[in-house]
Amino acid sequence: MKLFVRLLLLVATLGMFTFGVVLRGRVEDAKCAPNRAKVDFSPACARRCVRKGIAPVLFARNHIYPVANPKALAPFAGDWVKVVGVFRHHRLVVRKVTKL
């Protein structure tokens, strides 16, 4: 029984790393995205903050997704995008970004 449970956990863990996710949302800056209830979204502000060096994040499904490779999202700051990627260590690794 223990072997079965361990094998099942191993397969589930490997499945998380091999299957990608598709998310649709906005590319925002990590400074303002957590304060979304207090601050209105401004594409120009997001672009300015990302240019200043604040990490871009993906805001999708009312959730903020930190990104492992922020240079992939930086050109799309303030835009609505479709992101294909995988989750590793609680961060989204972006494989492909398409502007919507």
**Contact call for residues 29 and 77 (beta carbons, < 8 A):** yes
Cα distance between residue 76 and residue 69, in whole Å: 13
Residues in the chain: 100
- Which pLDDT belongs to residue 54? 94
The answer to which of 15-19, 26-30, 54-58, 74-78 has the lowest mean pLDDT is 15-19
Q: DSSP letters of the chain?
A: -HHHHHHHHHHHHHHHHHS-EEEEEEEEETTTGGGTTTS---HHHHHHHHHTTPPEEEEETTEEEEBS-GGGTGGGTTSEEEEEEEEETTEEEEEEEEE-
Percentage above 70 pLDDT, the chain: 83
Considering only residues 32 and 71, tell me which one the structure prediction assigns the higher pLDDT: 71
This prediction's pTM: 0.78
